[in-house]
Structure 1
Amino acid sequence: MNSVTLVIFMVVTGSLIAGFTNILAIKMLFKPYHAKYLFGIKLPFTPGVVPARRKEVSVKLGQIITGHLLTPEVFISKIRKPESERFIISFIDRQIQTIENEKLSISYFLERLSEGLTDKIITGFNETLTDKIHSEGDRLYHEVISDLVPEDALQVIDGKVSNIQPQIEKKIKSYITSEKGYNDLYVMVDEFIEHRGRLAKTLKLFLTKESIVESIQREVIKLSEHPKMTGIMNEFISSEYEKIKTSRVSDFMSEKDKSELESNIVQTVGKWINIERLLEKPVAEFNPALFESFKERGKYKLLDNMTDYLSVNMVRIMDKLQLAELIKEQIDSFEIEKLEELVMDVAKKEFQMITLLGFILGAVVGFVQGLIVVFL
């Protein structure tokens, strides 16, 4: 073999070896997809580099993305950009317009969160209301009356009770001296005399019914003004008042009456609140002035609150989302064939250049080796 042929042979051989070596190396990045065995012994370099290191790659990639690319600072910076704020405000405006035009109610949003949530809230509210009223009724039923009245109100009542006796005395005088009082006394005197037989005849000889009634009027008035009677009345009123204050509600109300009262209160409060009607009422009609204020200024306050909340809690939110784990799971679930196809499509030209470079470098090395062999 002459020198030229030898050099050409060395060039071609070196080029083919280097080129096909690069082709094989590129193929071995992904293939084979699974480990290969010969007589129960696992063959080296199987599976390919990417399938073999897939779990490590997915973990590292997740750490890189969340640690250096999708960091909390990046999200916050993106949210605070004017174009992001304009987008959020535009989104809020569209939602407000939808709520207003379609007359969406709270019930609508509750059902969007979870089907049947409205009925659960209504049932829960009514049950809670009933339980609260019954439990409060049971508590008040055994309370002392004076403990249920506020201190200021109790002082006012004490003052009113201390002035009852003069008022009673005044009412007695007014009644006794009135025409009705006179007529009532006259009827009672007439019945008394007419049912006394001889005593009645004797009394008629000395006194007339009119004079007897007038005498009774004077004596009743004197009796009501007598200091002892005043003291007796005051003592009686004070004693009864103290009994009432120290009594319990249960002393004046039976269990049946309490249950009926509680049921009436539940029905009245339920009708007054009407939670079902409130939930079905359009959001925009709850408070039109407040809704208009939110449309004009409140949405910007909402944007500020959202931004501030995300700024403070973004790290915690991302920890809860576990983005690194999510990225790992997605990569692990991605079919290796699809991953190879994707990488090849993206780096096709680069791999072709690597292959070509292998052929060229192999040819250069073969040429140099051929010259060395010829001259040595």
Structure 2
Amino acid sequence: MLLISFMVIIGAIIGGLTNSLAIKMLFRPYKEMRIGSWRVPFTPGLIPKRHDELAKQLGKMVVDYLLTAEGLGKKLKSQAFSTGIISWLQTEATKVMRSQDSISTLLEQRFGIMNSKERLVTKTELLVQKSYRQFIETNRMETLEKLVPNSIQEKIESHIPSVTNYILERGQSFLESAEGKEKLSQMIDRFLIQKGTLGNMISMFLGNDRLVDKVQPELVKFLTDEGTRTLVQQLLVQEWEKLKQKKLEDIEKNVNEEEMVSFLVRTAEKQIPLYSMIEQPLYEWTGAYEEYVTTTVIPKGVDVLLDLLSTHLEALLERFHLDDIVREQVQTFSVERLEELVLSISKREFKMITYLGAVLGGVIGFIQGFIILLIG
């Protein structure tokens, strides 16, 4: 009985130590050991020896079996994932749109961009200047008729009658006013002075005020006459036709480039909301868009984006070269770190394997001791 007990104990020790050593040899030793030119067997351990191959196979396994286009596509199309993304984006968008910071402040804080409005205006000025010069250089010999879109030409021509009426009405209103009568009196006075003796004689016989009283109603009648309206309209049409036939180089001579660029930039700064919004707190101008963005733009945008990703997921994964990424990451892992990672996950199982080896060793020792007693 003592012999059997001894054999059981010895077998259990051998079995436990053998399994424990086998587990250790998965990782140890970390490096190859040599005596002279002779490499010590089983060095380095299994995993250090197959480190590169393990990294390659892990990368292949991730791409082929874990992060597959089909699996990721199902995840992207799932209602839970879509709802989660939409909810997160709505929360973040609401925080931004209700912020008291301006776009200028956010650009300065997040990206270090200082004086964003001044930079935007400067960029606009450079763009306008470049576009203006390019347009002039390209179309210098073209007429305005070819350069101005037909829709704008038709719009201008359709407004000629109203411009005619405006000119005549303003002229009539001016002549009928006290200021207009005074100006007309001064003009008549200068005219009579220029005519010398004849003017003095007319002035003596009629009197300046009486002459103004006679001329003013006639001028008003002239401005309200249909023939005058037709004449002025014809003159405007003729001038417009002449203007259309002028070449751009003729117009360029009378236009100062710096003033034109400055005018266009000022107009853009006044008319385009972005220039004023950039320095306003976000909540002041985003309130009108908050509901539309959160209830319409974000859900539709997420749906479109997820559909696009699902459609091109396989091509995207190929471009990412996930297998190479995993392989490179595993290769950069030290064996010590890899051992620690594996043992942290499977420490209990490895202990059970060691205990199992001890149990099996003990069973084998018991059988051996029993056989020896029988043979006796």
Shorter-chain TM band: 0.5 to 0.7
Alignment partner of 1:280: what SS?
coil
CA distance in 2, matches of 1:354, 1:244: 99
Match of 2:113 in 1: 116
Report which of the two structures shows the higher radius of gyration computed on alpha carbons: 1
Alignment partner of 2:133: what SS?
helix
1:90 aligns with 2:80: no
Structure-2 change in CA distance of 1:150 and 1:68 (3 Å):
closer
Match of 1:269 in 2: 267
Contact 1:133 1:266 in 2 (8 A): no
CA distance in 1, matches of 2:79, 2:245: 70
CA distance in 1, matches of 2:44, 2:82: 49
After superposition, give the CA deviation of every residue in 1:13-54 in whole Å (9 maximum; x if it has no partner). 544444322222111101011111111332221111111111
Post-superposition offset of 1:309: 2.1
Partner letter of residue 139 of structure 1? T
Partner letter of residue 16 of structure 2? G
CA distance in 1, matches of 2:120, 2:191: 64
After superposition, give the CA deviation of every residue in 1:234-266 in whole Å (9 maximum; x if it has no partner). xxxx9x999876653334653x74434533444
Contact 2:59 2:326 in 1 (8 A): yes
CA distance in 2, matches of 1:106, 1:322: 37
After superposition, give the CA deviation of every residue in 1:90-114 in whole Å (9 maximum; x if it has no partner). 2122123212321454445655774
Match of 1:307 in 2: 306
After superposition, give the CA deviation of every residue in 1:124-159 in whole Å (9 maximum; x if it has no partner). 3332122112221333433234433556849x98xx
CA distance in 2, matches of 1:316, 1:108: 39
CA distance in 1, matches of 2:252, 2:329: 70
Match of 1:318 in 2: 317
CA distance in 1, matches of 2:97, 2:85: 18
Superposition CA RMSD, Å: 4.4
TM-score (norm 2): 0.64
Structure 2 stretches lacking a partner, 5+ long: 161-186, 199-237
CA distance in 2, matches of 1:356, 1:98: 57
Match of 2:331 in 1: 332
Post-superposition offset of 1:8: 6.1
Match of 1:31 in 2: 28
Contact 1:18 1:362 in 2 (8 A): yes
1:65 aligns with 2:66: no
Contact 1:144 1:246 in 2 (8 A): yes
Task: Pick one of 36, 49, 52 that aligns with 2:49.
Answer: 52
Structure-2 change in CA distance of 1:329 and 1:245 (3 Å):
closer
Range 350-359 or range 12-21, more displaced: 12-21
Partner letter of residue 279 of structure 2? E
Mapping for residues 196-345 of structure 1, pairs under 5 Å: 247-251=246-250, 253-254=252-253, 257-272=255-270, 273=272, 276-282=275-281, 286=285, 288-345=287-344
Contact 1:37 1:43 in 2 (8 A): yes
TM-score (norm 1): 0.64
Range 294-303 or range 30-39, more displaced: 294-303
CA distance in 2, matches of 1:313, 1:108: 37
Match of 1:129 in 2: 128
Match of 2:98 in 1: 101
Structure-2 change in CA distance of 1:302 and 1:105 (3 Å):
farther
Structure-2 change in CA distance of 1:51 and 1:136 (3 Å):
same
Match of 1:346 in 2: 345
Contact 2:32 2:44 in 1 (8 A): yes
Alignment partner of 1:78: what SS?
helix
Post-superposition offset of 1:308: 1.3
